[in-house]
Structure 1
Amino acid sequence: MTHNVLVVDDEPKLCDLLASALSQNGITVFTAGNGLHALKVLECEDIDLVISDWRMPGMDGPQLLAEIKSRFPQLPVIVMTAYSTVKNAVQSMRNGAFDYIAKPFDIDELDITVSKALQFRDILKDNQRMRAELDEHQQIDSLVGDSPSFRRVLHAIDSVRESNATILLTGESGTGKEMVARAIHKHGNRADKPFVAVNCAAIPEGLLESEMFGHRKGAFTGAVADRIGRFQQADKGTLFLDEIGEMPLALQAKILRALQERVIEPVGDPRERKVDVRVIAATNKNLLDAVANKEFREDLYYRLNVFPIPLPALRERVEDIAPLARHFANTLGAAAGKRFSGFSAAALQAMANYSWPGNIRELQNCVERATIVASQAVIEEEDLPAYLFASRPADSGVLIENNGVPADLEAALAEVEKAYILAALQQSNGVQAAAAQLIGISERSFWYRLKKLGIHVDKIVR
């Protein structure tokens, strides 16, 4: 396997010496005279290992190491210096260096250290490739179902996948919006280009502009080097903007300009950069309501809504629950070394009766738990989590009169409300803020309902 190594040192003779020594082992060597030059090489070339001097003018070795660990976390770095001290060695290793060598060094010693670092890099690459293949396989194959509502989604994917139109995916949390986005990219005309996903709600507002458009060195405190943003990372490919409804208003205008004019401006750099990006946005919000409430720009909404694809909730495609459950059981069981032949009729009926507020994500978690506890090839009703049965009338203690009318409406509604809250807590692993978001209410309202219904979160069975 051919490897690319980047040598960073302000002494040209040492760079030439290392290049000559390493190239004898079939290694392609790139050189840089300082840290900033090194970062530019890393942005353009597929580098497997960096060998960097400790002391350099401008951006020194520790600063370059920090920037590499931030931007290329799996890239090994060997630090070298003539100022060999235990303090420097310990500091570099603590900061993420793969190894440390001191000048003057023995070539054989360098070869051994480089060989170990490249083996480490190969293992990381193989693991990353296998995870990507597995994720891709699961993502594409998870588009399972034959219900009318889901067939409409598949038809929409087939219609738009070869175009460059901006797409807006809408639907409740857990309905598979990212899976659909990846399927559109994978089967479209940009399949061999990058797919870059950004969760707009997960990035602090103060960093979001830099994350999207990049920045120049010195643009703000902590900007120690130039950095490209997600739009440039996705150039010629697909940019997936998840939870677009959470994007701050101040940034929405810049996103709109990027979509309309296909140009961006990194933070601190007045020069425009052209980008060729296919944008797929997703939200679980009603963006028209957000527009009416002045929380979302109307012009950006219509720019995003060129080709809308609404994703149905799982309760709206009940006939797909059984094939999805079997798919997850087969996939998750194989990963755990188990083989399952299916679900019992009672287990399938229990899953069909449940409302699935967390949608496909919740179903996958449910099946994963069942594959862990199941002792037979057939997954039985008792292998399913208890919260699936919390809303059954027979278990609730609510009296039902003729024609299914409850004798006590308040009690019946309380039981239904309790079942939804318990399910949301189970889905969120007991995190109350996440559970509140899952069922679409505020945290304050959620806490009030916990108290009213006598639910103790620390007693929820995981």
Structure 2
Amino acid sequence: MTHNVLVVDDEPKLCDLLASALSQNGINVFTAGNGLHALKVLEVEDIDLVISDWRMPGMDGPQLLAEIKSRFPQLPVIVMTAYSTVKNAVQSMRNGAFDYIAKPFDIDELDITVSKALQFRDILKDNQRMRAELDEHQQIDSLVGDSPSFRQVLHAIDSVRESNATILLTGESGTGKEMVARAIHKHGNRADKPFVAVNCAAIPEGLLESEMFGHRKGAFTGAVTDRVGRFQQADKGTLFLDEIGEMPLALQAKILRALQERVIEPVGDPRERKVDVRVIAATNKNLLDAVANKEFREDLYYRLNVFPIPLPALRERVEDIAPLARHFAHTLGAAAGKRITGFSPEALQAMANYSWPGNIRELQNCVERATIVASGAVIEDNDLPAYLFASSPASTSAILSEGASVPPDLDAALAEVEKAYILAALAQSNGVQAAAAQLIGISERSFWYRLKKLGIHVDKIVR
């Protein structure tokens, strides 16, 4: 792909030098002697990257950067600066610049920085193309967001959606794994075929094999009719295996055979059935740890992990909280017959400060509650649940503050944070475990697993 780069500098010799260096990499180079000239070029040319000097007469680098971010918000800008003004360049990055290079610069360093910026631009273009392909009736909650980490997810979806490769979605509970699976199915080559979802943690172990592969009448007590399993239901379409890490070891071998040989055997029926399914699995567990602990088959792990897509936690894509909240407020408000136009700055700040252990699912629940209690068209901070204000961001970052001692064991520190959230949820739900699990956005089975792992004993359940 050929890229167009605009170099802005009031020194013609430097413009010529950069044009010569960049053109050797197959880049088309445009030049401008000042900021005003640069804006005119941007209005008529499809530019992929701007490299601008910091100090120029008339409109300087910071002013040009502000204009570009206002008119062309998706266009990356690299700032050139002398070593003595690196501090100012860092400030320009905070104002939206992609990166900076210091004069006099090394050509290899320039090539690396430009290459990264153009890769970033390509990902943005791919995302825009993918979004353009989605009509209004196919918009999916999980596709809301434009943070760098989420753009990587969108790029991965676009790369794999037309293939039949097995996909493993990983990430914490509530990060939107099923929504991503549905997006892959709806925009892939099986879109007109069934999408069948199975929560491996929600089905009792004794019924899971029958649920997956079906059974013949009389195969076991209670099997009063023949039943078609989920693999056959999803034939020619997509089978989504959620919480695959909770699947019993005995059944994992049969799942592996179904993936390898594309055949299944219903319970009580020795005849094999051929199936053609595209499998997308999801888990919030570290499956490699589970393999090491003999809790998950290594051969099944590698069969599932053909195309892994890690989903970022909501706290890792803070810039997406506001657009997600607005999206939920719009859709949930309309369903409730209320017109919600947005959030107050205080409400947005409170949501940005919160760590969202339940991720997108918890945010949706929070906005749904706020939509119900809001008295006006704008959701205020006092419409939000009280637990958002229970912990200050300063308290969670205190362990890394200047002068504070860093805990020697990261896993132990994270376990303490997890334990604190679970205890707070139990306290808020008066000890009702199902309600506490729903509050923090995880399944009851996952909640019970965490209770056992963290050694939390619930002596009394208030119903």
Shared fold per TM-score greater than 0.5 = yes
Q: Secondary structure at the match of 1:459?
A: coil
1:435 aligned partner:
436
Which stretch of the first structure deviates more once superposed, 48-57 or 276-285? 48-57
Q: Call closer, same or farther: CA 1:388–1:214 in 2, change over 3 Å.
A: same
How far does the alpha carbon of each residue in 1:17-48 deviate from its partner, in whole angstroms, 9 at most, with x for none?
99999999999999999999999999999999
TM-score, scaled to structure 1: 0.61
**Post-superposition offset of 1:367:** 0.4
Distance 1:340 1:55, change over 3 A: closer
Deviation readout 1:175-217 (Å, 9 max, x if unpaired):
0000000110011111110000001111111111111111112
Shift of 1:225: 2.1
Query: Displacement of 1:174 after TM fit?
Result: 0.4
Which shifted more, 286-295 or 414-423? 414-423
Change (3 A) 1:145 1:267: same
Compared with structure 1, are the counterparts of its residues 330 and 218 closer, same or farther at alpha carbon in structure 2 (3 Å cutoff)? same
In 2 relative to 1, CA 70–224 (structure 1 residues): closer, same or farther, beyond 3 Å? farther
Q: Residues 310 and 87 from structure 1, CA distance in 2 versus in 1: closer, same or farther, beyond 3 angstroms?
A: closer
- Verify the 8 A CA contact 1:239 1:278 in the aligned structure 2: yes
Residue in 1 that maps onto 2:414: 413
TM-score (norm 2): 0.61
C-alpha distance after superposition, 1:122-173 (max 9, x if no partner): 9999999999999995871442000000000001111111100000000000
Q: How does 1:87-98 map to 2 (within 5 A)?
A: none
Aligned length: 462
Do the aligned residues in 2 keep the contact of 1:145 with 1:320 (CA within 8 Å)? yes
Shift of residue 353, structure 1, vs aligned partner: 0.3
Greater CA drift, 309-318 or 110-119:
110-119
Query: What SS does structure 1 have at the residue aligned with 2:21?
Result: helix
- Partner residue in 2 for 1:158: 158
Task: Give the stretch that moved more between structures: 107-116 or 365-374.
Answer: 107-116
Cα distance between partner residues in 2 of 1:19 and 1:138: 44
Deviations, residues 216-266 of structure 1 (Å, cap 9, x unaligned): 122112222221110000000000000100111011000000000000111
2:405 corresponds to? 404
Deviation, structure 1 residue 269: 1.1
Percent identical among aligned pairs is 95
- Residue in structure 2 matched with residue 133 of structure 1 by the alignment: 133
Q: Distance in 1 between matches of 2:228 and 2:33?
A: 21
Q: Which piece of structure 1 moves more, 155-164 or 29-38?
A: 29-38
Cα 1:213/1:425, change in 2 over 3 Å: same
Q: Which moved more, 1:264-273 or 1:4-13?
A: 4-13
Moved more, 157-166 or 49-58: 49-58
Cα deviation digits, residues 295-344 of structure 1 (max 9, x gap): 00000000000000000000000000000000000000000111111111
Structure 1 residues 323 and 42: alpha-carbon distance in aligned structure 2, compared to 1, 3 A threshold:
closer
Where does residue 452 of structure 2 map in the other structure? Answer: 451
Q: Work out the CA distance in 2 between the residues paired with 1:71 and 1:275.
A: 52
Aligned-CA RMSD value: 24.9
| Partner SS, residue 427 of structure 2 | helix
**Contact 1:169–1:283 (CA under 8 A) maintained in structure 2:** yes
Higher mean alpha-carbon deviation, 408-417 vs 146-155, is at: 408-417
Q: Is the 8 A contact 1:398 1:411 kept in 2?
A: no
Q: In 2, distance between residues paired with 1:18 and 1:202? A: 60
Q: Structure 2 CA distance, aligned partners of 1:17 and 1:235?
A: 60
8 Å CA contact 2:165–2:307 kept in 1: the answer is yes
Q: Distance in 2 between matches of 1:327 and 1:267?
A: 44
Structure 1 residues 198 and 85 mapped into 2: Cα distance closer, same or farther (>3 Å)? farther
Higher mean C-alpha displacement, 292-301 vs 223-232:
223-232
Change (3 A) 1:460 1:368: farther
Q: Can you give the 5+ residue segments of structure 1 that lack an aligned partner in the other structure? A: none
Q: Distance in 2 between matches of 1:63 and 1:53?
A: 11
Q: CA deviation at 1:432?
A: 3.0
**Are residues 158 and 108 of structure 1, via their aligned partners in 2, closer, same or farther at CA, if it must alter by over 3 Å?**
closer
- Partner Cα separation in structure 1 for residue 317 and residue 45 of structure 2: 47
**Bigger shift: residues 180-189 or 64-73:** 64-73
* Alpha-carbon contact 1:170-1:284 (below 8 Å) kept: yes
Distance 2:53 2:379 in 1: 58
Change in 2 beyond 3 A, CA 1:147/1:400: closer
Query: How many Å separate the matches in 1 of 2:100 and 2:33?
Result: 19
| Alpha-carbon contact 1:398-1:408 (below 8 Å) kept | no
Q: 1:81 to 1:386 in 2, by over 3 A?
A: closer
How far apart are 1:97 and its partner, in Å?
Answer: 67
Task: Decide which moves more: 338-347 or 415-424.
Answer: 415-424
1:276 aligns with 2:273: no
Q: Would the aligned equivalents of 1:398 and 1:412 in 2 still touch at CA under 8 Å?
A: no
- 1:58 positional shift: 93
- 1:231, 1:275 within 8 Å by CA — same for their partners in 2? yes
1:35-92: per-residue Cα shift (whole Å, max 9, x none)?
9999999999999999999999999999999999999999999999999999999999
Q: Residues 134 and 426 of structure 1: is their aligned pair in 2 closer, same or farther, counting only changes over 3 Å?
A: farther
Question: In structure 2, what is the Cα distance between the partners aligned to 1:399 and 1:367?
Answer: 31
Displacement of 1:267 after TM fit? 0.9
Q: SS at 1:398's partner residue?
A: helix
**Cα 1:18–1:240 shift into 2, 3 Å:** farther
Counterpart CA distance in 1 for 2:128 and 2:184 is 22
Higher deviation after alignment, 172-181 or 61-70: 61-70
Within 2, Cα distance between the matches of 1:311 and 1:236?
26
Which is worse superposed, 84-93 or 319-328? 84-93
Map of 1:370 onto structure 2:
370
Alignment of 1:154-233 (within 5 A): 154-233=154-233
Alpha-carbon distance between aligned partners in 2 of 1:128 and 1:203, rounded to the nearest angstrom: 39
Contact 1:343 1:378 in 2 (8 A): yes
Output the CA distance in 2 between the equivalents of 1:183 and 1:124. Answer: 18
TM-aligned CA distance change 1:3 to 1:305, over 3 Å: closer
Shift in Å at residue 376 of structure 1?
1.2
Distance 1:374 1:248, change over 3 A: same
Question: Are the equivalent residues in 1 in contact too, given 2:6–2:30 (CA < 8 A)?
Answer: yes
The alpha carbon displacement at 1:378 in A equals: 1.0
SS at match of 2:236: coil
